[in-house]
Amino acid sequence: MNASGGARDRARWLRGEIEAHNRAYYELDAPTVSDAAFDALFRELRELEAAHPGLMTPDSPTQRVGGKPLEQFAPVAHAVPMLSIQTETEHDASGAQHFDARVRRELSLADDLADVAYAAELKFDGLAVSLRFEHGLFTQGATRGDGVTGEDVTQNLKTIRDIPLRLAGMPPPLLEVRGEVYMCRDALAHYNEKARARGEKPLVNPRNGAAGSIRQLDPSIAASRPLRFFAYGIGAVEGWSLPATHSELLDALAAFGLPVCAHRIVARGWRELADFHDLIGKERPRIPFDIDGVVYKVDSLALQNSLGFRSREPRWAVAHKYPAEEARTVVMAIDVQVGRTGALTPVAKLQPVFVGGVTVSNATLHNEEEVRRKDVRVGDTVIVRRAGDVIPEVVATVAELRPMKSAEGDFLDRVPCHPPFELPVTCPQCGSHVVREEGGIVARCSGGLVCPAQARGALLHFASRRAMDIEGLGDKLVDQLIASGQVKTPADLYALTSSMLASLERMGEKSAENLIHSIKKSCDTSLARFIFALGIRNVGESTAKELARCFGSLSALQNASAAALEEIPDVGPVVAKSIVDFFAETHNREEIARLVEAGVRWEEHEGVASAATGRFAGKTFVLTGTLPSLKREDAKELIEAAGGKVSGSVSKKTSYVIAGEEAGSKLDRARELGIAILDEAGLLQLLRGDDS
């Protein structure tokens, strides 16, 4: 379909507006419009491009995410190698002095000549990448790899909004930009909080998070991570008369629309370099992203060329790192903390020690396997590390300082005073059994409904819309109910009265009555909703529905063996073990009994047979894109009512893919596998029983 001039102009204007707002938000940290207004612009552009495919351009903001998952990364040979730089071993001012002395010696500069000008900048702790721009358009991105050959990660780098899809101004025909992908610490913490709430594994630290995200084969994963980018140099260039200095080069990159870190100066001589190193060292805790030092570069590009390279390192640059933030102390005890998802974490209680700018008295030991690997025991002298705002951790034990005693009956044979650490078999918070998934290293409390450490998450999940649907029971109210002691477990909700709620902050009489009404209303539910509300690990909404259909009653599910559970579609060994472990815990069964006594009820049936009936029995559907009249949930309910199953991913077991507008990679995958593709009309026709 040909687009009118008005549509073309509108699309061009929308692309410019969206990129301007993106730059204001991500580079300048100064949003110019609300999220809703930005979303409206983006939605209009996407609809315009869908109606007029000829308007879509490679640099359109809508093209940042949408590539299908790759089988593997293709190799990329760097036109100009991405070399490492030498690290200065001295952490004090002498590090800057030694570098300056080497540069002056290589350039044959007499002591009485003027100081050398240096560009001083931060040494980012992330993942080095190279971006290739052809006539201003971002065409390829690659990892550093071994410096000579990297991996093509273009799809993932396109998801980073810091990286322009088209350069501003008058860029050269070819420009390779070198830089670092990183994460801010607060953004990582926010991401991890949401990941834990979804039951997903959190990212370990900003550096691992950045590197791991860029090496994901599915670009949608990278798009979900809070990745940022800084440019700090160039590789291959064609058709551009370079500036005279490195600092001017960075200014030029910034003018092209590339993000360049503001923490940089031009220093004269080693003393100003040392002052910069000292200043950044003091500011380091307040810098929002991780660094492990600063980098010094001879500012003049002509002098850089004259100095050249030594082996695989430039003579004109050096990394001046900061000392590791470590100290020695003694382990007084090893406690076990229970997290919001039930994960048990051993924590070393330390003799207080000053490290990383603060006094530390606790340090994480991560998990039982890590404690055993490092063999940390009570009484041990250990090395503790704390970098920036990272949680202190025990790095290693000092074996020769371990307290020993004479073995019984033998004064010559000496043994450690304290035994190896063992994780408790019951939860220290609620006494429920501790379980561990096969092959997993994280141990968890199985008392999800009754464990105080998991109370907040359990209550919010129980009350959520897809579970018991208790309207009005949000985060703040749950926090107040737990803090007041009125609610400890889901069954306590059904004992609440309006007068009990009235004492809570911002809880008027009308609000209290509405909440009580919503709680009473939730008593009439379905077995599938109730199973989902229990918060059994690895059991999502779809699996809960399948379990309800196949077993028919809660009693049958509670008493099902792992083997019987694995007969259910999409229930493998891990999910089966989670279900068995949950119902094996007496506390959970008692809590379910309390809920039933409180009036929670649902209809039950014979089970199994209903799972095999219906027109769509044994069929698996995948929904993708936006349907003309049916909401996705409505389509899902129609399919499930006919005995079918709705899955979130396309596989060889998929029977049909129902595709609407803006269908993405799922549609491509269906075509690759030769799976039948229907639109909304085709689905409705199938539901009516017309297969023709």
Ranges of each domain in the chain: 5-63, 95-321, 326-416, 426-605, 613-687
Q: How many CB atoms lie within 10 A of CB 669?
A: 19
| Two tokens, residue 627 | 């349907």
Residue pointed to by tokens 């008027």: 508
| Two tokens, residue 222 | 């990278």
- Helix H or strand E segment including 224: helix 219-224
Return the SS3 of 372: helix
Sequence-separated (6 or more) residues with CB below 8 Å from residue 483: none
CA distance 362 to 352: 8
Torsion angle, alpha carbons of 247, 248, 249, 252, to 10: 130
Sign of CA dihedral 634, 639, 641, 647: negative
Residue numbers annotated as active site: 123
| Predicted confidence (pLDDT) per residue in 167-216, tens digit | 999 999 999 999 999 999 889 888 888 887 777 777 877 888 888 888 88
Residue pointed to by tokens 């491509």: 668
| Predicted confidence (pLDDT) per residue in 36-47, tens digit | 677 678 778 878
- Nearest Cα neighbor of 482 from 504, 508, 497 is 504
In CATH, the architecture of 5-63 is Orthogonal Bundle (1.10)
pLDDT at position 610 is: 42
Please report, as a single letter, which amino acid is at residue 400: E
Sequence-separated (6 or more) residues with CB below 8 Å from residue 628: 660, 661, 680
CA distance 332 to 6: 73
In CATH, the architecture of 613-687 is 3-Layer(aba) Sandwich (3.40)
Backbone φ and ψ of 37, nearest 5°:
-65, -40
Residues 21-31, mean pLDDT to the nearest whole number: 61
Q: Do domains 5-63 and 613-687 have the same CATH topology?
A: no
| Predicted confidence (pLDDT) per residue in 510-527, tens digit | 888 999 999 999 999 999
C-alpha pair distances (Å), 247 with each of 119, 179, 254, 260: 6, 15, 11, 11
CA distance 672 to 548: 33
pLDDT at position 611 is: 43
Return the SS3 of 650: coil
Higher-pLDDT residue of 290, 201: 290
Q: How many CA atoms lie within 13 A of 263 on its CB side?
A: 21
pLDDT at position 31 is: 65
| Predicted confidence (pLDDT) per residue in 641-663, tens digit | 777 788 877 888 789 999 988 78
| Predicted confidence (pLDDT) per residue in 416-468, tens digit | 889 999 999 999 999 999 998 766 678 899 998 899 999 998 999 999 999 99
pLDDT grade, residue 609 (50/70/90)? very low
CA distance 184 to 206: 7
Backbone φ and ψ of 234, nearest 5°:
-135, 165
- Helix H or strand E segment including 458: helix 455-463
| Two tokens, residue 642 | 């006919």
| Predicted confidence (pLDDT) per residue in 55-104, tens digit | 777 777 776 654 555 667 888 999 998 888 888 878 889 999 999 999 99
426-605 sits in which CATH class? mainly alpha
- Per DSSP, 201 falls in state P
pLDDT at position 411 is: 56
Lowest mean pLDDT among 303-307, 377-381, 606-610, 617-621: 606-610
95-321 sits in which CATH class? alpha beta
Please report, as a single letter, which amino acid is at residue 43: R
| Two tokens, residue 163 | 């990286």
| Two tokens, residue 480 | 């107040």
Residues 663-690, mean pLDDT to the nearest whole number: 86
Residues facing residue 433 across a β-bridge = 426
| Predicted confidence (pLDDT) per residue in 219-268, tens digit | 888 888 999 999 999 999 999 999 999 999 999 999 999 999 999 999 99
- Per DSSP, 623 falls in state E
% of the chain with per-residue pLDDT over 90: 42
Chain-centroid distance, C-alpha 362? 25
Burial class (CB in 10 A: 0-12, 13-18, 19+), 269: middle
| Two tokens, residue 24 | 């204001």
Residues 410-417, mean pLDDT to the nearest whole number: 72
pLDDT at position 602 is: 93
- Helix H or strand E segment including 475: helix 475-484
326-416 sits in which CATH class? mainly beta
% of the chain with per-residue pLDDT over 70: 91
Report the largest interatomic distance among the alpha carbons of the chain, rounded to a whole angstrom.
97
